Amino acid sequence: MPVTVSIAEFFSSLHVSGQAGVTRELLADPDPAQTAALLSRAFHDLCDDLPGGVQVDLEWHPKAAVNALHYIYRLCQALVDRAMTEEDVNRICAALPMLPSSPGEALSQDLALRHLPELHSMARSMSDSDPLVSGIKAAAKQFPLSSVGIALQESPDLTPLRRHAGLWQLYIDRIIERQDASRLHDAHTRLAVANALGEHALSLAPKLAARLALEASPLSILAP
């Protein structure tokens, strides 16, 4: 008899410990009311924890959150099921959630998508050439708020984040916490990170301080 994992079980384990079990079956939802209550509570807790308590225009989007959870679950399946073909993995990675159309939708998706960096790290530890690695990296560019910690060669589109003070500050805080210097390609991000760190940049975030110093150097404009 196939063993299934419920959305509530998967999210609870992931949310509390950062770890969760998967099977070869798709996620089940035997109690939609329980799932809705669990995710809604987590979303509003996240809103309350936003820097500065900024909660303007953060409407809860349950469908976006659930779709993102299904996507992360499928990535977890690809991570642990070594019998999957490259075609299978590519198909899973390509089935991205819809891009968020509002700040609330972005934060709803972030309940699940914030685990992209950990999945990327685990996939790389097994094989840097694994299609799952490149697939997660492609997703990282589409969901910059959730993917801080995954080094990007080019700056993603940050316009939606800059339009909401709470999400923008959350993005900057994550960059500082994870010292993701790759995100400093963007001029707006560099300025915000530099302002947040102030004169304590070297002691608080040495990797970011080094990149900020390089970007500020007159010689840097001569680099190819």
Task: Mark which of 122, 147, 172 sits at the end of a domain.
Answer: 147
Residue 187: φ, ψ to 5°: -65, -40
pLDDT truncated to tens, each residue of the chain (224 aa)? 467 899 999 999 999 888 888 999 999 999 999 999 999 999 999 998 887 656 667 999 999 999 999 999 999 999 999 889 999 999 999 999 999 999 999 999 999 999 999 999 999 998 888 999 999 999 999 999 999 999 999 889 999 999 999 999 999 999 999 999 999 999 999 999 999 988 877 777 888 988 888 776 543 443 43
163 shares its domain with 139: no
Alpha-carbon span 95 to 192, nearest angstrom: 33
117 shares its domain with 167: no
109 shares its domain with 192: no
99 shares its domain with 194: no
pLDDT of residue 178: 94
pLDDT of residue 218: 46
Helix or strand (DSSP H, E) at 2: none
Q: 160-185 b/e with 16+ CB inside 10 Å = b?
A: bbeebbbbbbbbbbbbbebbbbbbbe
109 shares its domain with 80: yes
How far is C-alpha 91 from the chain's CA centre?
A: 20
83 shares its domain with 131: yes
pTM: 0.90
Task: Mark which of 107, 126, 147 sits at the end of a domain.
Answer: 147
pLDDT of residue 4: 86
Task: Mark which of 127, 147, 167 sits at the end of a domain.
Answer: 147
Q: State the residue range of the domain holding 34.
A: 1-147
Domain count of the fold of the chain: 2
CA angle 99, 37, 143 (to 5 degrees): 20
Alpha-carbon span 143 to 156, nearest angstrom: 8
